[in-house]
Amino acid sequence: GIMITMVHELLHIYSMKNTDNNLPAPINEAMTEYFTMKSFKYSEIDSIRMAGYPLEIQIMMALSEKISEKDLLDIYFSQNEGKLKSLMKKYFPNTNYTDFLSKMTDIFNSTFHVNGAFNSFDKGLINHEKVKDIRKMLGLNDRKFTVIF
């Protein structure tokens, strides 16, 4: 809804206010959407259902399984890609960051440029194959959500 969009856009403004750094767009949008939904305290499944970036938010959920919320907030509000790379190397040592970013970019581009805005209520977007692929790249098992439709 409109409140979600307003919070999302305000987070963009605040995250870039005091820095000249910029996270890559796919990471920036994923983090913005993730923290937007966290601010409303929605369940993970409801966050995915309501997200404008439903696949990207699931990737952030995956990263948050090993990278602390505090570190993710610091990366986001400082727009510090170097810290993200460093923490990914620490917590996901077998993941090539360039390959990860390439897959994130593919997801980001398909969110709007190929399919138009996803219908987040489409149950096929929960544990989507592209999300499973990145989770596998990160060395994480598939995420189990309790889904009630």
The amino acid at residue 54 is: P
Which two tokens mark 67? 């990278």
Give, to the nearest 10 degrees, the angle between helix 25-39 and helix 97-109: 70
Residue 121: the pLDDT is: 47
Residue 112: the pLDDT is: 63
Predicted model pTM: 0.87
Cβ count near 102 (within 10 Å): 11
Mean pLDDT of the chain: 87
Going by pLDDT thresholds of 50, 70 and 90, the confidence category of residue 24 is very high
Q: Are 60 and 36 in contact (CB under 8 A)?
A: no
